[in-house]
Amino acid sequence: MKMYETTQSVERYLNVELECSCGRTHYAPIKAVNIGKGAINSLPDYMARFGYQKPYILCDPVTYRVAGEKCEALLREAGYAPQVLVIRHLGFDEATLGEIVIHKPEDCDVMIGCGTGSITDMLRYSSFKLKLPCFTVCTGAPMDGFAASVGIMNVDNLKATMPAHNTELIIGDTDILAGAPWRMTLAGFGDLIGKLSSLQDWRVAALVNGDHYCRQIDRLVTDYVEDIMARTGSLKARQPEALGAVLNGLLLTGTVISLYGSSRPISGAEHHMSHYWEVLGDQRGKDYAMHGEQVAVGTVLALMMAEELLSAQVDFAAARRDAAAYDPQTWEAEIRRAYGSAAGAILELEEEAGKNRPEGRLRRIDRIEAHWDEIRALLEKGYPSGDLRQMLKDLGCPSDPKDIGLTEEILKDSFRYCKETRARYTVYQMIWDLGLTEALSDRVMEKLKRLGAL
């Protein structure tokens, strides 16, 4: 089939090969999504439709009460004999995986996970290892991982992204979502509006770094983000349609990872900031807020940096001198300081990607200069950081570094080094290419202090 020219509902992108004018065929292997009031009641129908007989339900004590119990009852009524595991090892690590395997019935043919991040990640990973299909029943919408093909779990006490598979079905019952903590929904909103900066990064990367770009996917994500931003009034009133729209948007952006083949369109500088804060949080035994909340703050900051770039004096000759004078030893010492015990992985990544090496940087400076007018026009269309900040404040979502416990020192290092967490071109890498990181981040930090945000 041909890729749609106009934006469609999430369901229409699932389990169908879409030939696109961008030259790629887009495909998302998820079979069905059902979001709406009472959606959980459709679970037995999907069991019948997909031909499964022996469900194995995973939940924790909370999600059992919220959704697991209901799934169990619905399946029993429909004549199935589900086995339920209320997980007791809640570290979402080797012990959790062991518990899941130990209690798995021999004849089970589908696994059903009820929960949000940790449980559904563990579901996709464990079912993948056990070579079983899986279904997801969402109990909240705090992030866009439900539609992912990977699973995040703790391995040897470190958060690891493990190869897994997509869930076949995602159910989001808006009655259940309405009962989820409000903070969780706001975090989901934060992860969604993060696309304001990730899309901008992607467009810049296509011009400067030659990243594959797809106009239709850009349009699709943009439409969903604009839709949710137009609904902040009903979201604030916690109306079920708005809660459903948040989950819908998160499923769509998650599906885009499969459609595009990586998270490039939906994860940029704002996510690099979140990854960096998570690394620091783990090392310092501190919790710098939920993922989606971090993304919300990171998005405001990324948009502010882009705005500063627009008003900066760009000196391409100075940028070239800066690139030629790059000293990997100084950089390495700084990474060791900023990343502590996580520095090894960052150094390895740079060894492989070489994104800071002078040759590549000089090439990119040439391209930035050649496309400078286009890049400026693109950044000028960016969503104003001040408006976004106000929108987040109105909703009660963190918007400022201060809201999530970040100090001045952490923030400065975030502007300098968060880009090192992934080999992905963003506005931060472009600002670094131009030798403007110090100057622009100083200006943003001064502005944040004036606003009382830092």
CA distances from 335 to 241, 277, 431, 447 (A): 45, 14, 18, 26
Q: Quick one: 274 or 429, whose CB is closer to Zn ion? A: 274
* β 25-26/169-173 pair status: unpaired
Q: Quote the least distance from Cβ 27 to Zn ion, whole Å.
A: 11
**Is residue 214 at the binding interface for Zn ion, with CB under 5 A as the rule?**
yes
Helix (H, G, I), strand (E, B) or coil at 214: coil
Cβ–Cβ under 8 Å, residues 213 and 206: yes
DSSP-derived secondary structure letter, 14: B
Q: Quote the least distance from Cβ 264 to Zn ion, whole Å.
A: 12
Q: Quote the least distance from Cβ 216 to Zn ion, whole Å.
A: 5
**Is residue 22 at the binding interface for Zn ion, with CB under 5 A as the rule?**
yes
Q: Quote the least distance from Cβ 159 to Zn ion, whole Å.
A: 14
Helix (H, G, I), strand (E, B) or coil at 151: strand
Q: Quick one: 22 or 353, whose CB is closer to Zn ion? A: 22
How far is residue 66's CA from residue 179's CA, in Å, rounded to a whole number? 8
Question: Between vectors from CA 124 to CA 227 and to CA 98, what angle results, nearest 5°?
Answer: 145
Beta-carbon contacts of 423 under 8 Å, excluding residues fewer than 6 positions away, are 349, 350, 352, 353, 355
Q: Quick one: 211 or 332, whose CB is closer to Zn ion? A: 211
Q: Name which position in 4, 7, 11, 20 contacts Zn ion (CB under 5 A).
A: 20
Q: Quick one: 261 or 396, whose CB is closer to Zn ion? A: 261
Q: Quick one: 275 or 364, whose CB is closer to Zn ion? A: 275
Beta-carbon contacts of 400 under 8 Å, excluding residues fewer than 6 positions away, are 297, 300, 389, 448, 451, 453, 454
DSSP-derived secondary structure letter, 421: G
**Greatest C-alpha distance within the chain:** 74
Give the count of residues interacting with Zn ion (CB under 5 A). 4
Q: Quick one: 22 or 454, whose CB is closer to Zn ion? A: 22
Q: Quick one: 191 or 308, whose CB is closer to Zn ion? A: 191
Q: Quick one: 50 or 213, whose CB is closer to Zn ion? A: 213
Q: Using CB under 5 A, which of the segments 13-21, 72-80, 86-94, 397-405 binds Zn ion?
A: 13-21
Question: Which residues within the stretch 260-319 sit at the binding site for Zn ion (CB under 5 A)?
Answer: none
**Is residue 349 at the binding interface for Zn ion, with CB under 5 A as the rule?**
no
Q: Quote the least distance from Cβ 291 to Zn ion, whole Å.
A: 6
Residue 152: phi and psi, rounded to 5, are -100, 130
Q: Quote the least distance from Cβ 294 to Zn ion, whole Å.
A: 9
Q: Quote the least distance from Cβ 194 to Zn ion, whole Å.
A: 6
Q: Using CB under 5 A, which of the segments 17-25, 110-118, 155-163, 236-244 binds Zn ion?
A: 17-25
Q: Quote the least distance from Cβ 192 to Zn ion, whole Å.
A: 9
Q: Quick one: 20 or 86, whose CB is closer to Zn ion? A: 20
Nearest to 145 by CA among 131, 164, 128: 164
Nearest to 153 by CA among 143, 163, 144: 163
Q: Quote the least distance from Cβ 141 to Zn ion, whole Å.
A: 12
Q: Quote the least distance from Cβ 20 to Zn ion, whole Å.
A: 3
How far is residue 454's CA from residue 444's CA, in Å, rounded to a whole number? 10
Q: Using CB under 5 A, which of the segments 18-26, 353-361, 368-376, 437-445 binds Zn ion?
A: 18-26
Site string for Zn ion, 168-207 (x = CB under 5 A): -----------------------x----------------
**Is residue 86 at the binding interface for Zn ion, with CB under 5 A as the rule?**
no
How far is residue 138's CA from residue 185's CA, in Å, rounded to a whole number? 12
Q: Quote the least distance from Cβ 36 to Zn ion, whole Å.
A: 24
List of E strands, 87-182: 110-115, 134-138, 150-155, 158-163, 169-173
Q: Quick one: 55 or 298, whose CB is closer to Zn ion? A: 298
**Is residue 391 at the binding interface for Zn ion, with CB under 5 A as the rule?**
no
Q: Quick one: 22 or 32, whose CB is closer to Zn ion? A: 22
Report the 10 Å Cβ neighbour count for 133: 18
Give me the residues paired with residue 34 across strands.
Answer: 171
Q: How far is CA 172 from the centre of its chain?
A: 18
> What is the contact surface with Zn ion in residues (CB under 5 A)?
20, 22, 191, 214
